Amino acid sequence: MKKNLLLAFALFLLFEVQSFAQGAYAPFDRDYYHLIERYEIRQGTMNPSFHTGFKPYRRDQIAAFLDSLSTSSKLTSRSDRQNLSYLGNDNWEFLNDEPEDSKTPILKTFYRKPADFFHYKDSIFDIHVNPVLYLSGGIEQGFEDARFRNTRGIELRGSVDNKVAFYTYLTTTQTLHPSWVGQYARNNGAVPGEGFWKEYGAQGFGYFSARGHISFNITKHIEAQLGHDRNFVGEGYRSMILSDFSNPYLFLKLNTKIWKFNFTNVFSQMTADVRYNRGRPTDGRYPQKWFSHHRLGINLGKKLNIGIFESVMANEFDWNYLNPVIFYRWIEHQLGTPDKVMLGFDSKWNFSPGMQLYGQFALDEFVFGEFFGIDGKNSLRNKHSIQAGFKYIDAFKIHNLDLQLEYNQARPYTYQEKFEHQSFTNYRTPLTHPLGANFREAIAILRYQPIPRLYLNATGIYQFFGTDPNNETNFGGNVLKNRLVTNTGIGLFGNVIGQGIENKIMMGTLNASYMVKQNVFVDLSHSYRRQTAQNLDAARISNVSQLSLRMNISRQDFNY
């Protein structure tokens, strides 16, 4: 019965829908979202339509932001005009000035709009249908089998009575990942971002993906979304608070936007530690756990935004956590429960047109004397993670050359918990960073658009982290392990980042994407990955080259 309460609550809200225009959410895609966010950074002030600290964004709000940019005299480059046209075509039903119809529709029915294979719009229904395709082939040096991906499916979005918006995404995939990705999936028992999988051939993976949501406005200032998908908090390439790395999950999101305040609540049911054999999940009902998150975002002036958040992970449903405006830590104390509570903040500062500083701090456990004391700063109980980043749009006065630098770290045992099913994970994958904890990471990303339809991306990553020598030892990196089990010989103090078996990874990826037509891309990429570790006789070096054709789907990367 408890497992149906979240759905019942959402259905109750649905009957209270008010007559305000509503758009579905645009799927989170780093390349796509960068095109949106770069124009806010370039202006140097907050956009008037939505806060960027919680993703994804609603299409009607994206369109409102594009309308606010349409008169800007600064967007003069050919690539900028192409980007605005691309984003406008993708969200055309919400623009003040609707883009022109396609000049060459197929059979006068299909692709009447550049972004839609088929659409239908009247006073009741607004429907957009698109095929989804991802065909990729490549080679990895030292392996005989070709790397490949074969994804086919459909994407459907729209609204009813201009009040209730909906989105559905269905695909089936057969793939053979690069070696380190396949190893990660088998070690964790889940494919990152997908969860359940079946064997395809000797080394491949097969899985079915289904995501979807409905969204509606409760009042003029309060909107709701009931979905099975992922969420992302922050401005970075990674998120130390909540990221898109894990499997999609059921959630109810309430978003309240009043003046300079944006208050977001997420109530969700997630999958706990799945049983698996030989890397693959076994049959049977998987245990569930409950996650609640709220974040208050505030615009301080026109350049600075600060978000304060609190999250709780519980192995049992509790009505108390449905209160959207309560302090979770207080509830956890009053209930006498061992539920896992995290809190912290994220921020961004558009301190100069074209430049942004951003960061995050997530606090897992805190002992005042140890946190601020010199002797106790390396205590096992000082569990936290940080992020610091910088974005530079039109870097060095070169049009459409964007630079991003980012640093992430998490102390040992962060996101772990001493009680069953309360780690910060979903379907055996971290809810935040792919490495879990006990790591440092530096990222540099250079994006360049030399001509309107060509997107170049160079990403470099350095990682330093510690792993466990066996399953019975816990040095604090694997967030699936119980924090009470250490067997490290270190004790309460002396715990430092990288403890255990030291690992270092150097990784570089070059990608060129050419947009043949709206949302149809040809990608050419090459990835180099070098891993060294104390328990390896020699460095593990991987070189992977791939050529891809994709339609209405985000570009896949393997930067972990």
- The sign of the dihedral angle between the CA atoms of 319, 320, 324, 329 is negative
Tell me the pairing of strands 288-300 and 261-271.
antiparallel
Domain count, the chain: 1
Task: Give the residue, 74 or 528, on which the prediction is more confident.
Answer: 528
Instruction: Calculate the alpha carbon distances from 415 to 212, 271, 506 in Å.
Output: 28, 16, 25
Phi, then psi, of 90 in degrees rounded to 5 = -75, -25
Distance separating alpha carbons of residues 423 and 477, to the nearest angstrom:
12
- Cβ atoms of residues 402 and 393 within 8 Å: yes
DSSP state of 560: -
Distance separating alpha carbons of residues 99 and 132, to the nearest angstrom:
23
pLDDT band at 9 (very low <50, low <70, confident <90, very high): low
* DSSP character string of 137-203: EEEETT-SSPEEEEEEEEEEEEEETTTEEEEEEEEEEEEE--HHHHHHHHHHTSBTTTB--EEETTT
- Show the 3-state SS of 304-357: EEEEEEEEEEECCCCHHHHCCCCCHHHHHHHHCCCCEEEEEEEEEEEEECCEEE
Q: Is residue 559 part of a domain?
A: no
Q: Which domain holds residue 326?
A: 18-551
Q: Indicate the pTM of the whole model.
A: 0.93
Q: Is residue 233 part of a domain?
A: yes
Q: Is residue 557 part of a domain?
A: no
Q: Is residue 83 part of a domain?
A: yes
Q: What is the pLDDT of residues 258-314, one digit of tens each?
A: 999 999 999 999 998 776 665 566 667 788 999 999 999 999 999 999 999 999 998
Q: What is the pLDDT of residues 152-166, one digit of tens each?
A: 999 999 999 989 999
pLDDT band at 196 (very low <50, low <70, confident <90, very high): confident
In this prediction, residues 420-439 reach a mean pLDDT of 93
Q: What is the pLDDT of residues 442-458, one digit of tens each?
A: 999 999 999 999 999 99
pLDDT of 418 reads 82
Q: Is residue 11 part of a domain?
A: no
pLDDT of 80 reads 93
pLDDT band at 486 (very low <50, low <70, confident <90, very high): confident
Distance separating alpha carbons of residues 36 and 233, to the nearest angstrom:
16
pLDDT band at 195 (very low <50, low <70, confident <90, very high): confident
Report the Cα 553 to chain-centroid distance in Å.
15
pLDDT of 419 reads 79
- Cβ atoms of residues 492 and 381 within 8 Å: yes
CATH of the domain at 161: 2.40.160.10
- Cβ atoms of residues 13 and 224 within 8 Å: yes
Q: Is residue 456 part of a domain?
A: yes
Q: Is residue 76 part of a domain?
A: yes
Q: Is residue 8 part of a domain?
A: no
- Weakest-pLDDT range from 211-215, 283-287, 326-330: 326-330
| Structure-block tokens of residue 111 | 């692709």
Nearest alpha-carbon partner for 436 in 450, 455, 415, 457: 415
Tell me the pairing of strands 204-217 and 198-200.
antiparallel
